[in-house]
Amino acid sequence: MAGLSVITGCYGPALRDCTVSCAAAADCAQGQVCGADGLCAAPEIAGTCAPPPDGGPAIDAARPVDAPSIDAPPPPPPPDAPPDAPPMGATLRVQIDGAGSVFVDGSGVCSSFGARGDCTYDLTLGAPKTVRAVAIQPDQRFKAWTSSTCGGQGASCTFTPTVSTTVIAKFERP
């Protein structure tokens, strides 16, 4: 037993300032006080400890790192989407028949050369989208949109998607 007191007598854990949460001075190590910020620290810096970078609670040296804090509220459950809410995003498929390009405002250009006239873009449902058909060879011209989304509109087509959508631009020689 005498050997044990010798060993424990030379061990004195030192707690770093601003690492242990407290409610009263009795919660803190010798030489520390409980600051107004709820953290144990030396008297000269008590109450000035910055919160942890992630905004979480201070480290409690008496609690294992993986153990949940008793006084911390549980995280809120994720919000449920209403059952009739449409998905947040969808796709726009652009197909080109002939020699032309379709400019998808805010997204890019689909060309019958580089992508062989079949491109896909992300859409936000409910947000208006404009596509513009442009011939890329002098002997070609835009004839029509052959898909229902833009059918009957000119070379510039504006629509508001409610589902994934396909537009098909037809180009031909005059």
Q: Where are the domains of the chain?
A: 16-70, 89-172
CA torsion angle for 134, 140, 141, 145 (degrees, to 10)?
Answer: -80
Predicted confidence at residue 93, as pLDDT, reads 94
Q: Does domain 89-172 have CATH number 2.60.40?
A: yes
Pick from 1-5, 128-132, 152-156: least confident? 1-5
Considering the chain, what is the average pLDDT of its residues? 77
Q: How many CA atoms lie within 13 A of 150 on its CB side?
A: 27
Q: Looking at the predicted structure, is the pLDDT value of residue 109 above 60?
A: yes
Nearest to 129 by CA among 163, 95, 100, 171: 163
**pLDDT beyond 70 at 97:** yes
pLDDT tier for residue 36 given thresholds of 50, 70 and 90 = confident
How far from 161 is each of 21, 110, 144, 158, CA to CA, in Å? 53, 19, 20, 10
Q: Looking at the predicted structure, is the pLDDT value of residue 12 above 90?
A: no
The pLDDT assigned to 146 comes to: 92
Average pLDDT over every residue of 155-161: 94
Closest by Cα among 149, 172, 25, 13 to 92: 149
Query: What percent of the chain is helix, strand and coil (3-state, nearest 5)?
Result: 5, 30, 60
CA distances 143 to 133, 140, 163, Å, are 9, 9, 26
Would you say residue 19 has pLDDT above 80? no
Cα 150 from Cα 16, distance rounded (Å)? 67
Distance in angstroms (rounded) separating the CA atoms of residues 105 and 172: 23
- 10 pLDDT exceeds 70? no
Q: Determine the residue type at 88.
A: M
Q: Which of 12-21, 86-95, 98-107 has the lowest mean pLDDT?
A: 12-21
Chain CA centroid to CA 116, Å:
33
Whether the pLDDT of residue 81 is over 70: the answer is: no
* pLDDT tens readout for residues 44-69: 888 887 654 445 444 444 444 444 44
Question: If DSSP states are collapsed to H, E and C, what string results for 96-143?
Answer: EECCEEEEECCCEEEECCCCCCEEEEEEECCCCEEEEEEECCCCCEEE
What local confidence, expressed as pLDDT, does residue 72 receive? 58
Q: What is the mean pLDDT of residues 114-141?
A: 88
Instruction: Give yes or no for residue 103 having a pLDDT over 70.
Output: yes
**Strand 165-172 and strand 89-97: pairing?**
parallel
